[in-house]
Amino acid sequence: MSDAPLPGVFQLTPLNPEFSDDPHALLDRLRDACPVHRDTQAGTFILTRHGDVRGVLSDTTMWRSPERAEEAALIQRALVEQRIEGMRMSEEEIRSGILLMDEPDHMRIREPFAKALYKRVARSKATVQQVVDEWLAPLMDRPRFDAMADFALRVPIDVIARILGVDESRLSEFRDWSEGAILGLNPFRSEQETARFVDCANKMSVYMGELMARRKAEPKDDLVSDMMRLQAEGAPLNNGEISNNLQGLLIGGNLTTTDLIGNAIWLLLKHPSELARLRADPALINSAVEEVLRYESPVDITGRIAPRDMDVGGCPIKQRQSLFMSLRGANRDPQAFPDPHRFDIARKDAPHVAFGGGLHLCIGAPLARLEAQVALTSFFARFPNVRLAEPDAKPQWRKMPFFRGLEALNVLA
């Protein structure tokens, strides 16, 4: 076994080329050597065993709000600070995103949102199919294209914009703002990126406020109208909470679903026998999407804060200490998945944690699954001979910490 120092949070991001090239060399080593590892610099524990990760995620007493973390938990604390500086929206709006909130407010806000979103997602298959078809149509005449820029990046933002009810005339601005707003999830971003993030977040918030006012006055068949109606009917939600979390749906679901679609196309093209199985039996699409989520998870980690002194995986944790769960590491734990580094689209009983778990389980999971299933089925049906344009080239993974997706994916139709 290597006697190099164990990696910390920073080394477990694509800013470290070693991690970018092969995250599992580092994650396997960490799991074998110290499955509950203290990164003293970042001030957090990093968990890599599936059992420990699932245990913490499903413990409903754990805290999520970074404000409750000890001072030493630098990355958690950075999430608090970056929510405030330069933002023009109200304090109430800034602080009301469910992703970083604790009970009872978290469920007070999450429940009505989840109910309204799930209802819309359950009847959005035709919308998703329409968006996918619209983006595939112009590719039919092109012998070569970038499946990221020309397809995977396009579908999720258009789907969520239609579900929310964003005006078509504002769609391109909306795309631009959401790409900028995602930079807010990168604690290692440059000053220039911070300026873009703040500018886009401010513009998105102004637009969302206007849209909410318009839908309140004149409801339409969309999620913004649903939320304004719920508020009018007495749901305990203020405008800042509605605005922040409508934007959260967009930011949380955009890059992640893009990466799920991109990673899936890349993996299937890299594993021709798995693609042949899928072509022979299209009903495998659901388990294929789950396997992509497990094998090349779009999100690296999620966090929690210890609400009391406790024991995790045999390691003592003190109240207010931070825990980072490596979803990527847990999803390749040999204790949970036989032959974990094999990509098998028909894998059974594979309880991956790509969507986190417990009270904060990703609210967009049903939509992400639907989008990926429709996008991949249509993509491979339209392009029966699609292949990688540069099959031997090293994949270029994006440098955004905590997310794994490709910069580009050039294919020959």
| Longest CA pairwise span in the chain (Å) | 65
Single-letter code of the amino acid located at 376: L
116 near ligand HEM, rule: CB under 6 A: no
174 near ligand HEM, rule: CB under 6 A: no
237 near ligand HEM, rule: CB under 6 A: no
Q: Which is nearer to ligand HEM, 26 or 325 (CB)?
A: 325
112 near ligand HEM, rule: CB under 6 A: no
Nearest approach, Cβ of 303 to ligand HEM (angstroms)?
7
User: Site for ligand HEM (CB under 6 A): which residue of 124, 186, 256, 331?
Assistant: 256
Q: Which is nearer to ligand HEM, 365 or 389 (CB)?
A: 365
CA 80 from chain center: how many Å?
19
Scan residues 22-41 and list those touching ligand HEM (CB under 6 A). Answer: none
Tell me, residue by residue from 306 to 335, as one string, x for binding to ligand HEM by CB under 6 A and - for no binding: ---------------------x--------
What the block records as the tokens of 94 is 């800034």
- Taking alpha carbons only, the member of 210, 250, 238, 263 closest to residue 372 is 263
Single-letter code of the amino acid located at 336: A
Query: In whole angstroms, what is the distance from residue 83 CA to residue 369 CA?
Result: 29
Find the helix packing angle between 191-217 and 171-182, rounded to 10°.
Answer: 130
Nearest approach, Cβ of 302 to ligand HEM (angstroms)?
3
Distances, alpha carbon 177 to alpha carbons 186, 202, 254, in Å:
16, 9, 12
First-to-last alpha carbon distance for the chain, in angstroms, is: 44
Q: Which is nearer to ligand HEM, 212 or 375 (CB)?
A: 375
Q: Which is nearer to ligand HEM, 89 or 128 (CB)?
A: 128
364 near ligand HEM, rule: CB under 6 A: yes
- Taking alpha carbons only, the member of 359, 360, 351 closest to residue 333 is 351
What the block records as the tokens of 296 is 């090349």
* Range list of H helices, 137-170: 155-164
- Give the range of 76-84, 219-227, 330-338, 350-358 binding ligand HEM by CB under 6 A: 350-358
User: Site for ligand HEM (CB under 6 A): which residue of 257, 321, 322, 331?
Assistant: 257
How large is the C-alpha radius of gyration of the chain? 21
Nearest approach, Cβ of 342 to ligand HEM (angstroms)?
21
Tell me, residue by residue from 185 to 224, as one string, x for binding to ligand HEM by CB under 6 A and - for no binding: ----------------------------------------
Distances, alpha carbon 287 to alpha carbons 353, 357, 405, in Å:
15, 19, 20
Between vectors from CA 78 to CA 6 and to CA 76, what angle results, nearest 5°? 55
Between vectors from CA 345 to CA 11 and to CA 298, what angle results, nearest 5°? 30
299 near ligand HEM, rule: CB under 6 A: yes
361 near ligand HEM, rule: CB under 6 A: yes
User: Site for ligand HEM (CB under 6 A): which residue of 49, 54, 120, 360?
Assistant: 360
362 near ligand HEM, rule: CB under 6 A: yes
355 near ligand HEM, rule: CB under 6 A: yes
Query: In whole angstroms, what is the distance from residue 366 CA to residue 368 CA?
Result: 6
Query: In whole angstroms, what is the distance from residue 396 CA to residue 14 CA?
Result: 10
Tell me, residue by residue from 86 to 105, as one string, x for binding to ligand HEM by CB under 6 A and - for no binding: ------------xx------
Do 263 and 294 form a contact (C-beta atoms < 8 A)?
A: no
Nearest approach, Cβ of 85 to ligand HEM (angstroms)?
22
Residues contacting ligand HEM: total by CB under 6 A: 28
248 near ligand HEM, rule: CB under 6 A: yes
The strand pair at 144-146 and 310-312 is best described as unpaired
Do 382 and 140 form a contact (C-beta atoms < 8 A)?
A: yes
354 near ligand HEM, rule: CB under 6 A: yes
The contact set with ligand HEM (CB under 6 A) reads 57, 98-99, 110, 160, 248-249, 252-253, 256-257, 260, 298-299, 302, 327, 354-358, 360-364, 367-368
